[in-house]
Amino acid sequence: METLTFKSTDLSKRAQKRLRRSLFGAFLETCRAAGPKTKILTDGDGRVLTYGEIRRAAFALSSPLSKLTGKRENVGILLPTGAGAVIAFFAVHAAGRTPAMLNFTAGIKNLKAAVRTAPLKTVITAHKFIEIAGLETLIEDLSDEMDFIYLEDMKEQIDSRGKLRAVLGPIAPKIAAPSVSPDAPGVILFTSGTEGNPKGVVLSHANILANVEQIDQHIDLEDGDKIFNPLPMFHCYGLTAGTLWPLISGYPTVLHPSPLQTKTIAKRVFQTRSTVMFATDTFLQQYMRASADGGLNSLRFAVCGAERVREETRNTAERRFSFEILEGYGVTEGAPVLAANQPGDIRAGTIGKMLPGIESRLEPVEGLEGAGCLWVRGPNIMTGYISPESPGEVIALDEGWHNTGDVVSVDEEGYYVIRGRIKRFAKIGGEMVSLAVVENCASAVWPDYMHAAAILPDKRKGEQIVLVTEDATAVRHELLAWAQTHGVAEISVPKKIVIVEALPVLGTGKLNYVEVTKMAKEALGV
């Protein structure tokens, strides 16, 4: 296969002009346009905040934050999705600092590595969150690496200067908030660390705002739509798509602190009459199982990313709750959304078309035909990485191109299909086999359970695929029979099946394939 290059539709001229702002500046403009008394955000406890309340709190908290941190310092945010995290995010910007979103589910090793990579001296969190989440030991272990400041304490430290900023900020934002280049770092996020120490992903203000404009141009919402976002803000999907996009574009948003509270989330969607939900396939399945029939009927559609949407998930959504699923695709380095299906134009099994303004190219992959490794370039693609070996130093991309590491194919109409990660193909006897195909087959045979495929070494053929499943009755001959009747090569049918009580899931909603592989190795004594 030769290298193929594609160009999506252009980002509108109006959208291109709107990129030349700061994130906080964009929020302030929306606040003025919508009106400060407009109710925009419903927190996890049901409290409803207006644009004006968020704006006032951000300006007020920026005062003690300016005293506690240095100019242009990176400041960590260790908080669950909610009003506190939103206010902290904008307060950091109002103080002229750069927020770095920390994954509190990543474990002490990855957190320490992230702190050193950014680097960070100060982290914002909350006493209440630490207590409820039981993170006291984590904070104690991290305290030798950085200083923690708490939202509750900062509130008490707001002096007359802070109160003055809260009053004057909305009136004269150019005086109260520092001037920032749109190309300056807007946020630092971190890779999962599954392939070594986590790297910092630096997204500029313009990168994030480009993705906001791209989503806005790609997906039309209706008057009266309300967003429900339970995804973590330390993950770019939950930060940009689930939080910043609706806030900056003016859509009422309901935030929930944890995607794991399945029963509570199903009830809150019903109570708030939310119409659009952000989720992953894994989480959405759980929400639908926890909901009574009709409990999610207020939804018009759910946007699912981070992992493949199973046909069973799509069927359940349509049959039980009458809503559609828009499958999308993104990477942290893309701020994150790159492609998505659209209301009225859903192609099941695809991730839809690329968002406006994105160039893509497919590089050949040895052993694969009709697909290639996806590279992308566009206004939303990151400034660069910060490597653990060079803390604080941003390594720019070569000519703006980013290698996603995903293998995709593109049909004649421009719809993209994810074939798998480069690293999620096994080479068996010289032939490339996609682990995604293995999992698709298992899902078709046993649709009520979760399945994951792992690669283990094989003395004869180099590598072998093992299926790890939650279905206690799973047997190979059923899988083989289905494959033979559906045109799937026998090489894609694992010879070994490992049964577990529950598959491990990351805080982002993706399956934890590192732990899945460990489970397979332990079960087979490899």
Q: What is the pLDDT of residue 145?
A: 86
Q: What topology is assigned to 4-410 in CATH?
A: Rossmann fold (3.40.50)
Q: What is the DSSP string of 393-404?
A: -EEE-GGG-EEE
Dihedral of the alpha carbons of 449, 455, 456, 460, in degrees to the nearest 10 = 120
pLDDT value of residue 196: 57
Structure tokens at 88: 């902290």
Give per-residue pLDDT as tens, 186-203.
999 998 755 557 899 999
Residues 337, 394 contacting (CB under 8 angstroms): no
Q: Where in the chain is the domain with CATH 3.30.300.30?
A: 429-524
Each residue of 7-52: pLDDT tens digit?
788 888 888 989 999 999 999 999 999 999 999 999 999 999 999 9
Residues of the chain with CATH 3.40.50.12780: 4-410
pLDDT at 429 over 70: no
Q: What is the pLDDT of residue 394?
A: 94
Query: What CATH topology corresponds to 429-524?
Result: GMP Synthetase; Chain A, domain 3 (3.30.300)
255: exposed, middle or buried (C-beta count within 10 Å: 0-12, 13-18, 19+)?
Answer: buried
Nearest to 202 by CA among 193, 213, 191: 191
Asked if pLDDT for residue 434 goes beyond 90, the answer is no
What pLDDT shows up at residue 306?
A: 83
Residue showing tokens 């094989």: 458
Q: Does the pLDDT of residue 428 top 90, yes or no?
A: no
Percentage of the chain lying above the pLDDT 90 cut = 63
Mean of the per-residue pLDDT values for the chain? 90
Beta-carbon count within 10 A of 137 CB: 9
Confidence category of residue 255, pLDDT binned at 50, 70, 90: very high
Burial status of residue 501 (CB atoms within 10 A of its CB: 0-12, 13-18, 19 or more): exposed
At residue 195, the pLDDT reads 52
Q: In the prediction, which pLDDT does 430 show?
A: 63
Q: Measure the CA–CA gap between 232 and 242, rounded to whole angstroms.
A: 9
pLDDT (tens digit per residue) in 61-115: 999 999 999 988 999 999 999 999 999 999 999 999 999 999 998 888 889 999 9
pLDDT at residue 174 greater than cutoff 80: no
Please determine, for residue 502, whether its predicted confidence score (pLDDT) is greater than 80. Answer: yes
Q: Tell me if 23 sits within 8 A of 245, measured CB to CB.
A: no
pLDDT in tens, 73-82: 999 999 999 9
Q: What is the pLDDT of residue 104?
A: 92
Q: Beta partners for 120? A: none
Per residue in 214-231, pLDDT tens? Answer: 999 999 899 899 999 999
The whole-number average pLDDT for the span 356-371 is 86
Task: Identify the band that residue 164 occupies on the pLDDT scale cut at 50, 70 and 90.
Answer: confident
DSSP3 helix / strand / coil % (the chain, rounded to 5): 40, 25, 35
pLDDT of 425? 75
- The CA distance from 205 to 25, in Å, is 10
